Amino acid sequence: MMVFLLFISCDKNNIYSKFDKGFEENRWSKADVKTYDFTIEDETKSYDLILEFSHIAGFQFDSIPLVIEIKNPDNSKTIRSIALQITDAQGKDLGDCGGDYCDLSEIIFQDKKLAAGSYQVTVANDFNNAYLPNVLGVGIKVNISGK
């Protein structure tokens, strides 16, 4: 436990990181919208928002539709639909694969000034079925840019 805490404390760029895992039968239900709350204290800096996705190797889809909603401190919202690319044109996994699982990161925004205050990011799968199969986890990271 101490080693883990030491590792986290050394990453001074990261201001927020949460990764949800433990999907029952590795299925991400369409109704299971993931919510992440973080606070920006220093508006003089720029920030990166990174989506993290982990799946079973040999994923049967080349991309998955996701909807990302960002609620700003002034209660305005930005909604972005993305097709998260899982494989390239040749069918090769784009993620970092080790054994039976692959980890993938997607930059949602980079080097962006953010107003001080509380933010809420929701991530929903927009797959045209009741659930997205073979999902191990999903989460976000917020980092200070350029570090």
pLDDT of residue 11: 67
* Average per-residue pLDDT for the chain: 91
Is residue 4 over pLDDT 90? no
Going from the N-terminus, what domains does the chain have, and what CATH number goes with each? 14-144 (2.60.120.260)
In the three-class reduction of DSSP (H, G, I as helix; E, B as strand; rest coil), residue 24 is classed as helix
Report the alpha-carbon distance of residue 84 to residue 110 in Å, rounded: 17
Position 44 scores a pLDDT of: 96
The percent of residues in the chain predicted with pLDDT above 90, rounded, is: 80
Cα–Cα dist 86/63, whole Å? 5
Question: pTM surpassing 0.85?
Answer: yes
Instruction: Count the Cβ atoms, other than its own, within 10 Å of residue 24.
Output: 9
Measured CA to CA, the distance from residue 74 to residue 67 in angstroms comes to: 21
State the sign of the Cα–Cα–Cα–Cα dihedral 70, 120, 26, 5.
Answer: positive
Position 6 pLDDT exceeds 90: no
pLDDT tens string 40-86: 999 999 999 999 999 999 888 999 999 999 999 999 999 999 999 99
